[in-house]
Structure 1
Amino acid sequence: MQVPYLSNRKSYEDATELMAAFGDNAGYEAAARADRSLDQGNHIHFCHWRQIERLIVLLTYDQPLGTIH
């Protein structure tokens, strides 16, 4: 799995906020926000919410991912 790029802490905070508010549907909410941003022509927010969607998937894993040192 490719680890998403996080440009700042806001990405993590947005992901955890969605997970707290929407539970198992947090990824769907992030995708919906990305789609709304794309419909409005806001490509920056579209990319942000897609990244959040990927981060939510990553945060839901209980097992370590990637190389363990």
Structure 2
Amino acid sequence: MQLPYLANRKSYDDAAELMRRFGANAGYEAAARADQSLDVGNHITFCHWRQIERLIVLLTYNQPLGTIH
């Protein structure tokens, strides 16, 4: 899995807020927000919410990912 690019702290904060509010459905909410952004032609926000969707998946793993040194 490719790790998502995080431009700033807001990405993590948005993911954490969705996880708090929507629990196991947080990824679906992020995808819905991305789709809504795309529908109105806002590609920047679309990319943001897609990255949040990927970040939520990573945050739900209980095991380390990638190389462990």
- Give the structure-1-normalised TM-score: 0.99
Unpaired stretches in structure 1, ≥5 consecutive residues: none
RMSD between aligned alpha carbons?
0.3
Q: Tell me, yes or no, if structure 1 residue 46 matches structure 2 residue 23.
A: no
Q: Which amino acid aligns with 1:53?
A: E
Kindly report structure 1 stretches of 4+ aligned residues shifted beyond 3 Å.
none
- Give the structure-2-normalised TM-score: 0.99
Q: Which amino acid aligns with 2:50?
A: R
Indicate the percent of aligned positions where both proteins have the same amino acid.
84
Q: Which amino acid aligns with 2:43?
A: H
Superposition deviation, residue 61 in structure 1: 0.1
